[in-house]
Amino acid sequence: MSRQRVYNFAAGPSMLPLPALERAGAEISNYQGSGMSVMEMSHRSKLFLGIFERTQEKLRRLLNVPENYRILFLQTGASGQFSMIPLNLISRTGKADYAVTGNFSNLAFQEAKKYGQIHLAADMAENDYSRIPRQEELDLDPDASYFYYCSNNTIYGTEWDYVPQTGSVPLVCDMSSDILSMPVDVSQYGILYAGAQKNMAPAGLTVVVIREDLAGHELPFTPLMMNYKTMIDKDSMYNTPPCWCIYMLGLVLDWIDENGGLQGMLDLRQKRAGLLYDTLDHSRLFRCHAQKNSRSAMNVTFRTGDETLDAKFVAQAAAAGLVNLKGHRKTGGMRASIYNAMPLEGVEKLCDFIQSFDRAN
């Protein structure tokens, strides 16, 4: 290889743990003496079913998933869930509550409106999505079929630091950009889900954890492939699942296990975010987008206030091996995505770079 690996701060697809990549590399053309790659195997073969089941079990153990919940390995991205959730869940009362705290919860809200009466339990647009609503600000309808929110707003860099309390209304949560970064109490949710490409595996896999009794109430026109019940009954194998991504997820889960499990991920997450926010707060030039008590530990959004200077920062950082720091086009400025696989050393290097840029400009 001509170039060393860089510290990649991309929001997704994003860095994967190096040991997982290296193991995949070692097994790429001949998986455990089978004479073939995982990419070449039948999804119904004994060998692949072993990979599938072990990956499901590892995830169940790591997330401490209760027995009355199913783990599904689906496709169509996290965005596919924007339709799948109302299609399967809204029939109970025809109504649902949505908290819109960023781009993806807004897209989910817009999509859900096709299927029922959708009520905004909170809308953070007027603050330019710079903060998370407090529990007492949530306008809850006790008659909602479910309450929907996104635990970490990947684009704006805000994150819920509590689990909303909604009484008997099931919680549905998009955890695409903070799943596996800390322990969660799955029993508090009806459904939690994540596109894999931020913190789990390569793009192409969507992980859904669903309380089993919530399936089987889909609207009559629900497409077969968008029906949780179909996927539960066939254990995610109604059709060909994203085999390679599931295998890669297994390797990433092994790496998490070897690094202290979800408690270990939480410790690392706090160290990375603490260091970066502290450096930004002590700088002259940089301001964070998120309000202090709503800051995300996964996506850190900041800017100088001068677009030319922001562009210079992004370019010089890339030249120093700190790549993909340009903010999303909706926010401008910079965004450092610091998921599980970002080594602490990468954040330390970024902090050094921020300090020297701060002095030089």
Residues that bind ligand PLP (CB under 6 A): 12, 77-79, 104, 150, 154, 174, 176-177, 195, 198
C-beta closer to ligand PLP: residue 166 or 199 = 199
Helix (H) / strand (E) element for 359: namely: helix 344-360
Minimum CB separation of residue 320 from ligand PLP in Å reads: 26
Minimum CB separation of residue 348 from ligand PLP in Å reads: 25
CB–CB of 120/98 below 8 Å? Answer: yes
Dist CA 63 CA 75 (whole Å)? 21
Minimum CB separation of residue 159 from ligand PLP in Å reads: 10
- At position 357, the amino acid (one-letter code) is F
- Three-class secondary structure of residue 128 per DSSP: coil
Minimum CB separation of residue 107 from ligand PLP in Å reads: 8
C-beta closer to ligand PLP: residue 56 or 154 = 154
Minimum CB separation of residue 272 from ligand PLP in Å reads: 18
Sign of CA dihedral 95, 99, 105, 109: positive
C-beta closer to ligand PLP: residue 79 or 188 = 79
C-beta closer to ligand PLP: residue 14 or 166 = 14
Rounded to the nearest 5 degrees, what angle is found at the Cα of 324, between the Cα atoms of 157 and 76?
70
Structure tokens at 195: 């596109």
Minimum CB separation of residue 14 from ligand PLP in Å reads: 10
Dist CA 39 CA 46 (whole Å)? 14
Minimum CB separation of residue 341 from ligand PLP in Å reads: 15
Rounded to an integer, what is the distance from CA 134 to the centroid of its chain?
22
- Three-class secondary structure of residue 120 per DSSP: strand
Beta-sheet pairing, 206-211 with 171-174: unpaired
Residue nearest to ligand PLP (CB): 77
C-beta closer to ligand PLP: residue 34 or 79 = 79
- At position 98, the amino acid (one-letter code) is Y
Structure tokens at 121: 């339990």
Minimum CB separation of residue 77 from ligand PLP in Å reads: 3
In Å, how far are 16, 25, 213 from 134, measured between CA atoms? Answer: 33, 46, 29
Cβ neighbours of residue 69 closer than 8 Å, sequence gap 6 or more: 186, 209, 210, 211, 212
Dist CA 72 CA 65 (whole Å)? 12
C-beta closer to ligand PLP: residue 177 or 301 = 177
Minimum CB separation of residue 10 from ligand PLP in Å reads: 11
C-beta closer to ligand PLP: residue 154 or 236 = 154
Neighbours of 202 (CB within 10 A): 17
Minimum CB separation of residue 210 from ligand PLP in Å reads: 17
Helix (H) / strand (E) element for 82: namely: helix 77-89
C-beta closer to ligand PLP: residue 80 or 321 = 80
C-beta closer to ligand PLP: residue 104 or 247 = 104
Neighbours of 283 (CB within 10 A): 17
C-beta closer to ligand PLP: residue 101 or 279 = 101
DSSP track, 308-321: HHHHHHHHHHHHTT
